[in-house]
Amino acid sequence: MRRFKDRLLSELQDAIQKPTQTDCPPPPPYWQPVFSPSLEVSQHFKHQLGDHGWGNNELQNYVASPQNSFHRNGKLVLRAIADSSAPRDKYTSARLTSHQTLGRQRGYLTATITAPCASGIWPALWLLPSEPFKWPEDGEVDIFESWNGDYMNHSCLHWGHYNGQDHDKHRACETRMPHMSHAEGCTFALAWEQPEDGQGGRMVWYIDGRAVMKATIPQGTRRMEDWQVIINVAMGGNVTQGQIPRDGSYEFVVHSISLHEEPSGGWAKFERDWRSAKEGHTM
């Protein structure tokens, strides 16, 4: 009986956390990569490579191997592999940066993904300005990230400097997501609008059609049209509190990703969401 009640509670939480999307879909995309087995991953994304810890003492070596990033059944798959018996590269993964920039002063990015959830694993879908850039002064936007299988999404905005005096220049909002690893995927989105001079503006983060966080675009960050999409699976390091993944493979599946000139429901809905969404808390 206790297990039955627990299952009912879990299903109820799923229903609450994953509402049915009823808004009008966004207009046709101006960028939507095709994930065909006949196309190389590099058609739409650049492989970023290296095993230098990436600022967080991470374990993985990012490689361009077809074992670690490939197209399957019309989807993009990033596979992190942990093999403690390997003589070299015990941890390999993929980090992809889109050739396409956001390219608009206002727009909407949406992606449906199935994320790996396990100890020592840190998948992410996020944005950085085109290289060269200064971090965090030029800004960072995290649309999806989760670590250690906590089934929690961390929507984040970083800018300014990274020191004690500027801790309030890093905002975040946590959203519990029991369905994060479900095969049908979860849909994450970001809508942004910015004046023509590139100064200021607003952003709203969405999960499965629900606005979960809002933020003004900080002064001094790069123009949003210059930003690129990053998809990666990190392993170990500071963010995972030093936890190391067990041997095995961990797949981050991107069902679809696209850029549109307006969000689902149009800019009128964006205005309503802006009024109702909450600000992120300081870190």
Is 87 strand, coil or helix? coil
Is 9's pLDDT higher than 50? no
Residue 23 predicted with pLDDT over 90: no
The pLDDT assigned to 163 comes to 65
> Once rounded to an integer, what is the mean pLDDT over residues 83-107?
97
Residue in the block written with tokens 């190391």: 244
CA distance 262 to 182: 28
Q: Which residue has the tokens 């030093």?
A: 242
> Is residue 15 in some structural domain?
no
pTM: 0.90
Q: Give domain status of residue 1, yes or no.
A: no
Rounded Cα distance, 232 and 62, in Å: 9
| pLDDT grade for 281, boundaries at 50, 70 and 90 | very high
Q: How far apart (Å, rounded) are the C-alpha atoms in residues 147 and 153?
A: 9
**Count of C-beta atoms within a 10 Å radius of residue 9:** 10
Q: Is residue 10 included in any domain, yes or no?
A: no
pLDDT of residue 11: 44
pLDDT over 90 at 12, yes or no: no
In a domain, 200, yes or no: yes
Higher pLDDT, residue 55 or 3: 55
Domain coverage including residue 129: 24-282
What helix, strand, coil percent values describe the chain, rounded to 5? 15, 40, 45
Percent of the chain residues topping a pLDDT of 90: 84
Residue 99: alpha-carbon gap to chain centroid: 17
Dist. CA 87–CA 63, nearest whole Å = 16
Q: What's the full length of the chain, in residues?
A: 283
CA distance 92 to 238: 17
Q: For residue 41, what is the domain's CATH number?
A: 2.60.120.200
Task: Tell me the pLDDT band of 162, cut-offs 50, 70 and 90.
Answer: low
Q: Residue 2: is its pLDDT beyond 90?
A: no
Distances (CA, A) of 146 to 46, 208, 229: 23, 16, 17
Rounded Cα distance between 25 and 154, Å, is 25
Torsion 58-123-218-195 (CA) sign: positive
Which residue has tokens 């993944």? 245
Question: Cα separation of 76 and 79, whole Å?
Answer: 10
Give the number of other Cβ atoms within 10 Å of residue 116's Cβ: 22
Q: Is residue 82 part of a domain?
A: yes
**Which residues, in sequence order, are bridge partners of residue 96?**
47, 231
Map tokens 């009986």 to a residue.
1
Average pLDDT, the chain: 91
**8 Å CB contact between 240 and 121:** yes
Total domains, the chain: 1
pLDDT of amino acid 169:
83
Nearest C-alpha neighbor of 135 from the set 161, 102, 98:
161
CA dist., res. 62 & res. 52, Å (int)? 9
Tens of pLDDT along 182-202? 999 999 999 999 999 999 999
- In this structure, is residue 19 part of a structural domain? no
Q: Give the pLDDT of residue 4.
A: 41
| Mean pLDDT lowest among 11-15, 91-95, 185-189, 235-239 | 11-15
Written as six digits, the tokens of 171 are 């905002």
101-138 residue pLDDT tens: 999 999 999 999 999 999 999 999 999 999 999 998 99
* Tokens read off for 198: 């590139």
Q: Of 31-40, 163-172, 185-194, 230-239, give the lowest mean pLDDT range.
A: 163-172
> Is the pLDDT at 261 greater than 50, yes or no?
yes
Q: How far apart are CA 180 and CA 82, in angstroms?
A: 21
Average pLDDT over residues 262-268: 96
Is pLDDT of 15 > 70? Answer: no
Confidence check: pLDDT of 21 > 90: no
Is residue 6 in a domain?
A: no
Q: Is residue 201 part of a domain?
A: yes
